[in-house]
Structure 1
Amino acid sequence: MTFLDQANRGIPSGFAKILHMNWALTLLLCTIASVGFLMLYSVAGGSFSPWAEPQIVRFAMGLAAMFAVGMIHIRFWRGMAPIAYVGGLVLLLVVEFFGSVGMGAQRWIDLGFIMLQPSELMKVALVMMLALYYDWLPREKVSRPFWVAIPLVLTLIPMGLVLQQPDLGTSILLAAGSGVVMFLAGVSIWYFIAAISGGVGLVTVVLESRGTSWQILKDYQYRRIETFLDPSLDPLGSGYHITQSKIALGSGGLSGRGFMEGTQTRLNFLPEKHTDFIFTTLAEEFGFVGSVSLLTLYLLVIVFCLVSAMRNRDRFGALLTGGIAATFFFFFAVNMAMVMGLIPVVGVPLPLVSYGGSAMLVLMAAFGLIQSAHIHRPR
């Protein structure tokens, strides 16, 4: 297709694609990541090592990946969806048999230069696959039982593999992301009501299975549930994390103790202060104002993604954008609810802020898919 043909069809070409990027979204992502650099600098006691400097390098790599993915036509990524999904399943199986173990979980593949977490890749691959499925499926079949069962199977297979690691937090994100894609595709609301009812029943079964030969969750996961209900049961053990987290959140007050002045962080009372519980560090140092400001940045990302999805007349691109936006929302919502004691601790980091390698790169590549859908949308 020539430049003139592309211009006539409203498709940007060459360097014009850069102008058609969602620059507001890009700026928001850079701002959130900068908050992460600042907090990692703080938790290291005013040093760029060992966390802030590698995080800056990874974000730069992720930003480059976002631009590279965004420049490629969305039709290419549509065709790559089945390959990404099957590849994600293969990597999850590799983790099952050959994965590296850390903190009691087998979730990573050691590539030498990075610890790859395939479950992070699967979050995006699953959304891609479901967006492709509903782009292919005629709208009148969307709510028919047989055609609803297929995306359920596509979701349950990776969920089962992720639960084996065990990684309850990521399995929840997989279910939530796929559920949103199904909802946006037009699946009847009655299926979701049935799913919620089934979820309540499943929780009951999970709790009743404790101590039996068919126990579903690991012992430490049950302890997390007990700690969630009453942290004082084990204040120096399984309840320590959430207790110290609540102390840090409360001590921040309205405006916080000041940058690098958080006592819980500085005195190392707060565990995992650079990963899962970094939000409490921010809350202690910058208070309610800082916490709400970060939450506002996150919500603006969701708003810009949803606006882009609603303006996109390409069904695959719209569903892909909405699904990734929903996964991102659940990502930060689960982390914030977790550290505030609203839900059990499930080991979900704060996106773009918590220290991490594969999660950062995969997330930025996912936003590259959103950029691709935005740049190449029909005009």
Structure 2
Amino acid sequence: MHKNYFDQIKRLPLTLILLISLICSIGFIVLYSAANSNLQPWALKQIVNFCIFMPIAIIIALIDLRIIFRLSYIFYFCVLALLVAVELFGSTAMGGKRWIDIGIVKLQPSEPIKIAIVLMLARYFHSLTVDDLSKLHKVIIPIIGVLVPAFLIIREPDLGTGMITLIVSSIIFFAVGFRIKYFIILGVTALVSLPIAWNMMYDYQKKRVMVFLDPEQDPLGASYNIIQSKIAIGSGGFFGLGLNQGSQSHLDFLPEHQTDFIFATFAEEFGFLGGMFLLVLYFSLITLSLLIGVNCRTVFSKLMVIGITATLFSHVFINMAMVMGLVPVVGVPLPFISYGGTMMASMLMGFGLVMNAQVNGHTNLTNI
């Protein structure tokens, strides 16, 4: 048993752990700078979160894959129950009801539900055959399993996280070989539902879409964030202004510079060169994760890795596109960089599952 345990430790993907640690370290530096060279109120808390949840991620990597397989549905329904609890008696902040206040900390269930959905879909599709994918009653179950939490998230309202949930789920559906006709049906349904969705959107969400199409129509209102973000990125130039030298965040011109718009803060101080370096780190992390998935022997492990990697990619792409004005502002944080304990915990535990696929990817799940 001890030998098996040490063999598992030897199989831990140290390069992946190093990449995550390096990206998180960049986040600590940016949060330190964003607070005018102070560890409080963001950097120190983020460091503590990392020191707590990185060891937990490694522990998750060493857990028997069969245990994770068995607990997948239970975890999904537990987090779904937390989402329902947010709807019923969640605490409101910044115009949204997204948190459950349990005294010591505030939990944001919309973050772990992304991991829970990945595990739920991975387990469900692990048990299906190719022929099952042509049977409507087999296909409708996972679709409902995705749409229910997505609906609850969008109602909070958290349009960005809801979008990512749907995007990641669609990638998993595509990976398992969903019939094209189902994607067409869902696509047509989405298009037909656009007018209804528009009428259900809050006024501030509609304004974000309108100012995306014409950023100059409300420069001191709905367009303010994105205009200031572009100024910050542009003023960084090629090499950046230097650590603690960014004016947009330090003079409070850039709102949410520690969360959704932290990449603009980073780009202003570290420039195009720093931005490209961060992109290379993310690309390396995504590539390494996908290579782990390719080498997995079970459908469950493969889909688990694909889902977690797709979650990271979606966050990075949407966040960076958002701060550069390429997509509407939807409030999506940058993984491992943006301030937020629940986000840090969810992403680290998600990559604990990716590491588990490396350590236990050979485990036989046939008889479970």
The alpha carbon displacement at 1:205 in A equals 4.0
Aligned to 2:305: 321
Kindly provide the amino acid, as one letter, of the partner of residue 345 in structure 2: L
Does residue 151 (structure 1) correspond to residue 142 (structure 2)? The answer is yes
Identity %: 43
The equivalent of 1:9 in structure 2 is none
Alignment partner, residue 245 of structure 2:
261
Q: Structure 1 residues 53 and 71 mapped into 2: Cα distance closer, same or farther (>3 Å)?
A: same
Residue in 1 that maps onto 2:275: 291
Alpha-carbon deviations, 1:111-164, whole Å to 9, x = none?
Answer: 222210001111000010000000011122124333222211111110111111
Counterpart residue number, 1:306: 290
Provide the rounded CA distance (Å) in 2 between the counterparts of 1:192 and 1:309.
24
Q: Report the CA distance between 1:235 and its aligned residue.
A: 1.1
**1:241-280 to 2 correspondence within 5 Å?**
241-280=225-264
Q: Distance in 1 between matches of 2:128 and 2:65?
A: 18
Say if 1:66 and 1:369, in contact at 8 Å, map to a contact too.
yes
**2:203 is aligned with 1:219:** yes
Give the whole-Å Cα distance in 2 for the aligned partners of 1:192 and 1:300: 30
Distance in 2 (alpha carbons) for counterparts of 1:273 and 1:341:
15
Are residues 1:232 and 2:216 paired? Answer: yes
What is the distance in 1 between the residues matched to 2:19 and 2:123? 28
CA shift digits 1:258-298 (9 cap, x unpaired):
22111212211111111110000111111111111111111
The answer as to whether partners of 1:88 and 1:118 remain within 8 angstroms in 2 is: yes
Equivalent of 2:26, from 32, 35, 47?
Answer: 35
Distance 1:242 1:143 in 2: 44
Runs of 4+ with >4 A deviation: none
- Aligned mate of 1:53, from 41, 44, 51: 44
CA contact under 8 A between 1:252 and 1:284: conserved in structure 2? yes
Matched residue of 1:106: which SS? strand
1:162 aligns with 2:165: no
Which of 92, 99, 102 is the aligned partner of 2:93? Answer: 102
Change (3 A) 1:201 1:288: farther
Q: Deviations over 1:188-245 (max 9, x none)?
A: 23433443343333334434x3xxxxxx111111111112111222111111101100
Q: Which residue of 2 aligns with 1:358?
A: 342
Q: Is the 1:105–1:166 contact (alpha carbons within 8 Å) kept by the matching residues of 2? A: yes
1:336 aligns with 2:320: yes
Contact 1:114 1:357 in 2 (8 A): no
Partners of 1:153 and 1:67 lie apart in 2 by 32
In structure 2, the residue matched to 1:378 is: 362
Cα RMSD (Å) of the superposition? 1.5
Instruction: Report the 3-state secondary structure (helix = DSSP H, G, I; strand = E; otherwise coil) of the residue aligned with 1:199.
Output: helix
Partner Cα separation in structure 2 for residue 98 and residue 205 of structure 1: 27
**Amino acid across the alignment from 2:170:** G
Partner of 2:133: 142
Q: Distance in 2 between matches of 1:304 and 1:360?
A: 20
2:330 matched to which residue of 1? 346
CA distance in 1, matches of 2:259, 2:98: 16
Q: CA deviation at 1:333?
A: 1.0
Distance 1:197 1:244 in 2: 37
* Structure 2 partner of 1:179: 170
Determine if the alignment matches structure 1 residue 92 to structure 2 residue 62.
no
In the comparison of the two structures, how many residue pairs are matched? Answer: 363
Q: Report the CA distance between 1:340 and its aligned residue.
A: 0.9
1:76, CA displacement in angstroms?
Answer: 0.6
Taking the aligned partners of 1:143 and 1:31, their CA distance within structure 2 comes to 44
| Match status 1:117 vs 2:108 | yes
Gaps of 5+ in 2: 364-368
**Partners of 1:114 and 1:358 within 8 A in 2:** no
Letter in 2 for 1:73: D
Partner of 2:366: none
Gaps of 5+ in 1: 4-11, 210-215
The answer to whether the aligner puts 1:191 opposite 2:182 as a matched pair is yes
**Structure 2 counterpart of 1:15:** 6
State which of 53, 66, 69 in structure 2 corresponds to 1:75: 66
Contact kept in structure 2, 1:256 and 1:285, CA below 8 Å: yes
- TM-score, length-scaled by structure 1: 0.92
Partner of 1:127: 118
